[in-house]
Homo-oligomer: A and B are copies of this chain.
Amino acid sequence: MDRIARTTKDLGHVLREARKIQNLTQADLAARAGIWQRTVSNIETSASGAKVDTIFDLLAALDMELHIVPRSKMTPGDLEDIF
Closest residue of chain B to A17 (Cβ to Cβ) is B68
Complex interface: chain B residues within 8 A of A69 (CB): 3, 64-65, 67, 76
Contact flags A6-36 to B (C-beta < 8 A → 1, else 0): 1110010011001000000000000000000
Rounded to whole angstroms, the CA-CA distance of A11 and B18 in the bound complex is 21
Closest residue of chain B to A15 (Cβ to Cβ) is: B68
Task: Specify which of B3, B55, B63, B76 is in contact with A76 (CB 8 Å cutoff).
Answer: B76
Nearest neighbor of A2 in chain B, beta-carbon distance: B68
Where the two chains meet, the residues of A that have a C-beta atom closer than 8 Å to any C-beta of B are 3-8, 11, 14-15, 18, 49-53, 55-56, 59-60, 63-71, 73-76, 79
For this complex, 22 residue pairs linking A to B, each with C-beta atoms less than 8 Å apart, are A3-B67, A3-B69, A4-B67, A4-B68, A6-B56, A6-B60, A6-B66, A11-B52, A11-B66, A49-B53, A50-B51, A50-B52, A52-B52, A59-B68, A63-B70, A63-B71, A64-B70, A65-B70, A65-B71, A66-B66, A67-B67, A74-B76
